[in-house]
A and B are shown apart, each in its own frame.
Chain A
Amino acid sequence: MKLFGIKIPMMTSLLFWALVWEVVGRMDVIFLIPPMSAIVSAGFDLVATNSWQNASLVTLRSFVVGMALAIGVGVPLGIAMGRFKIVDNIFGLWVNMFVSAPLSALVPVLMILFGLGETTVVVTVFLFAVWIIVLDARAGVMQVPPSLIEMGRCYGASRLTIFTKIILLSALPEILAGIRIGLIRGVKGVVIGQILVSIIGYGELFELYSRSFDMERFWALTIILFAAAMLLSAGVELFEKRIEYYAGAR
């Protein structure tokens, strides 16, 4: 972006709003908005605490297990749906329904089914992430150019070879895009799950800080979470770029 002919670096807007926040915070208009400097220093204190470290560990564990399940189930299911009409008919409606459903509403039911613990959070992460992974893997497999498959047949490839050497590789960009969106949804899932269960991980901390009106820590934790989600997404995007030479070629 350029302002008065001077090139402004990307993070400037972020700094500008942080400054506005700081000023509003110092004016002491509303207790919900403490000064940004106070939030940042609270953030540094926070990461040093045992409770934060434990909560992070629990959160990370639920997230990783839930995501692993979502990818492990979602990718094969999506591929099967793309390849076999019957599988598509059986699952298609459900996947499309769940991908846009307000899943948060299901979490109370999950709590009854899986108890007030990590299992519920893992299941929430799974449910948030899996559907988009299924849909993207399905789309990836379905858009493999028919001529590529004919090419494989023509040069003597077996069905298995066509699957492993042509279909899977051809669908890889879509599969990865699905996993990236799935990861972002999974972050939402882990936070919403923990907040609703509210006795483990970050959910417990959020509950604690908001009840005791500890706004510095509350915001510090929020900012840490935002940053983590963005970093995660950027990481996957970086990986996607490495294979973009063929995603972009289509």
Chain B
Amino acid sequence: MANPMPARAADQSGTATSDAIVEVRDICKRYGDIEALRGINLEFERGKLTTLLGPSGCGKTTLLKIIAGLVPATSGQIRINGKVVTGPGPERAFVFQDFALMPWATVLRNVGFGLELKGVPQAERHRIAKHYIGEVGLSGFEEKYPHELSGGMRQRVGIARAFSVNADVLLLDEPFSAVDEQNRRKFQEDLLQLVEKERKTFLFVTHSIEEAVYVSDRIVLLSPRPGRVSQIIEPNIDRSAAPDVIRRDKGYLDVVEEIWQGLRQYAE
């Protein structure tokens, strides 16, 4: 290739960074006879957005749920801030593919639910919830119920809930897959702004290559059956440019193409 490499491939084990907030050590997961994940070793750097990308069946959601503590690993360790964890904890917050909103509760109560479970007094949790409802662009919808909102707006509620508990790590499981294409793009742009503003660590699962390249600092490619880390790519995209410019940027398109070449063997 004549053009300079737009992305550099990091080494397989995930570069040992000095400031890894999430460490994944030799994680294996079996469901009976099916091997879902084999020997996953990864480190996630503080303040970065890392994407787990791969074809369906590569175990990316399983890995995210293991990191969240929602699914037990068959073997291996997850460390958060250097400490081994075996279940969910306050330093991690999860954003669900199907939003997981309580249909009987208003937006305000849904967003404040994480705080409610922690025993935060009502006035305080309403204040925090209202702040993040504003941050995700839903001001004025506090008293609405989830079914009165569109898919995109519902997921904004899910994200506001995750921000409200002030966790260090946000785990997002295909958050935009149930959102239509136009809203999805807007949502991705808004997410980047929130990443910029909130300075948290994001772990993002998606099956959309464009989405991964557009939002990520680092992309972990997983290969299926059993799920393994096949490649790690750092897109190095200049995000100060306008979204439309980025989407037409040669570097951006090259990374998309490179990932597609890596994944096409798994396409049916």
The residues of A with any CB-CB pair to B shorter than 8 Å are 145, 147-148, 150-157, 161, 166, 169-170, 172, 243, 245-246, 248-250
Contacts and interface: CB of A to CB of B under 8 A. Distances in A.
Nearest to B165: A155
A70 B58 CA distance: 49
Contacts, number: 67
Contacts of B99: 147
Interface of B: 65, 68-70, 87-90, 92-94, 96-100, 102-104, 113-114, 117-118, 145-147, 161, 165
Given A161-B117, A246-B147, A154 B102 contact: no
A248 B146 CA distance: 11
30 contacts: A145-B98, A145-B100, A147-B97, A147-B98, A148-B100, A150-B94, A150-B100, A151-B94, A151-B96, A151-B113, A154-B69, A154-B88, A154-B92, A154-B94, A155-B93, A155-B113, A155-B161, A155-B165, A156-B88, A156-B89, A156-B114, A169-B102, A169-B104, A170-B104, A243-B104, A245-B103, A245-B145, A246-B147, A249-B146, A249-B147
Given A145-B98, A147-B98, A243-B104, A248 B147 contact: yes
Contacts of A145: 98, 100
A169 B104 CA distance: 8
Contacts of B147: 245-246, 248-249
Contacts of B89: 156
Nearest to B164: A155
A29 to B, nearest CB: 56
A239 to B, nearest CB: 15
Given A147-B96, A245-B147, A246-B147, A153 B103 contact: no
A249 B68 contact: no
- DSSP majority for the A interface? helix
B153 to A, nearest CB: 13
A72 B114 CA distance: 32
B157 to A, nearest CB: 12
Contacts of A155: 88, 93, 113-114, 117-118, 161, 165
B161 to A, nearest CB: 8
B94 A250 contact: no
Given A243-B104, A246-B104, A250-B103, A153 B145 contact: no
Contact of A249 (B88, B114, B145): B145
Given A155-B118, A156-B90, 15 more contacts: A147-B98, A150-B70, A150-B96, A151-B96, A151-B113, A153-B87, A154-B68, A154-B69, A154-B92, A155-B88, A155-B117, A169-B104, A246-B104, A249-B103, A250-B103
